Every structure is written in C-alpha cells, then in structure tokens.
Amino acid sequence: MLLVSDFALAQRSSELSDDLPDSRTMAIQRKVEALFDAGRFERAFFIYRNELAPLGDKYAQYMVGYMYHTGTGVEEDYVAASAWYQLAAERGTQEFVAVRDQLTHNLTSEQVYRSDLLYNQLRFEYCDMVVLLSSIKRDIQELDRKTGSRLTGGASPISVIDGRGGTRSGADYYKSLRERLEKRLHLLKDSGDFRDLTVDVDRVDLRDLEDRVENRLKFGE
C-alpha cells in the first residue's frame, strides 16, 4: 500500500475549528514527521497514537492505522489498522476512505467484525463529537472560572496570555473565547445532527451535551 504523506493534509486533518491546528499542534506534527523520516518509528508511533490522535487529528489517526497495517514501529495488526482507518475516514476525506475500503475488502468476515468492535471503542475516545465536546467543556470552564459567568460583560479588564503566546486584553480574549465556543457548538450540532441543539453560549447545558453525544455514539439517536 502507498503512504499518504502530505504535511498540508496533516494540518487540514487537525481542523475541528478555526483555531486548529495551533502552533503547538503544528510543532508536534513537524516533529513526528521528522522522526518518521529518520526511521525512529516506535517514537513516531507513540506520538501519533498518544499525542495527536486524541486531538482529533485525522492524519495522525490514519498514520496509526498505516503503522499497524505495515508493522512499522509496532506489531503488524490488520484488525487494528482497519479500525484506525475507519476513524481517520470519519469526515469522508478521500485519501483515508480509499485506504479504509482497500483494507476492508481484503479482510475476512471475522476480522471485519473485530475491527468494527475496536472502531466503536475508539469512537468513544477519539471521534470528532468526543473531541469537540471536550473542547467545549474546556471553553465553558474557562469562561466560568475567569468571569464567574458566561454572560457578556463579565470579563476581567486585565491582560491575558492567550493559547498562541500573545498578550490580549481580558475583554478581547473572552470575546474571542465566546466566539470560538459558539463555532464549536455549531460544529457539534452539525457533526452529531443535533437539530434542536442550542448554540447560545449563555444557555448551553453541559449535561445535555454529554447525554446527546453518549446516546448518538451508543444508539445513533
């Protein structure tokens, strides 16, 4: 099989929202690509599997599958490779869909069954809905912790250092945080097909979000 190797694709595969990939994620992507090219496969596999895949990075999830598929840096395992390819293809990216379908075609029915079981386990940890929900939780906690409320106007007047290392006024930072949270709520609504989900930052209910995502993953409802 051919290796789908494209740093631009790796960056696009991280984009769950406009703020991703951030500078830290891009630095990890460059580091792991250099490790892979240098033949340090076990270390590269660890980073793809444990640092980038949990961020919803589809290229990293594909690479975990590829390394299982080829026995590169890890013991060869077609079942695990197929499960990770399914996860990588979640957004319908053509390159990932192609390798998923190619491997699935060559598996036995028993291997396909085991791959599907593993894929369902991986979805509960690394699918887009789960990653988005985690990001939404962090944003809400940040707003509530710093402002005491998600209501507009509660931001501190002090300057803050944002996630990209820049300094911004508290008002600007929390305004952008609210905007990012709203975008992520829209993405979650679309990815889970939650048609009646509110995207109002001040009205969102975390427990409701958690229940919706859990039910969609368990029952497709």
Instruction: Identify the band that residue 24 occupies on the pLDDT scale cut at 50, 70 and 90.
Output: confident
pLDDT at res. 162: 54
pLDDT digits (tens, 9 = 90+) for 100-156: 999 999 999 999 999 999 999 999 999 999 999 999 999 999 888 765 655 554 445
Q: What are the backbone angles phi and psi of residue 17, rounded to the nearest 5°?
A: -155, 175
Residue 33 pLDDT greater than 70, yes or no: yes
Neighbours of 160 (CB within 10 A): 17
113 vs 162: which has the higher pLDDT: 113
pLDDT at 155: 46
| Whether the Cβ atoms of residue 82 and residue 107 lie closer than 8 Å to each other | yes
Crossing angle (nearest 10°) for helices 58-70 and 78-88: 160
Give me the pLDDT at residue 122, please. Answer: 97
pLDDT reported for residue 20: 60
State if pTM tops 0.95. Answer: no
pLDDT at 74 over 60: yes
pLDDT at 173 over 90: no
Higher pLDDT, 183 or 171: 183
User: Domain ranges in the chain?
Assistant: 7-126, 128-219
Architecture of the domain made up of 7-126 = Alpha Horseshoe (1.25)
DSSP characters over 41-60: HHHHHHHIIIIIGGGT-HHH
In this prediction, what percent of the chain has a pLDDT beyond 70? 81
Contact 191, 132 (CB under 8 A): yes
- Give the per-residue pLDDT at 172: 87
Confidence band for 31, pLDDT divided at 50, 70 and 90 = very high
Q: What rounded mean pLDDT belongs to the chain?
A: 87
Report residue 160: phi and psi, to 5°: -130, 155
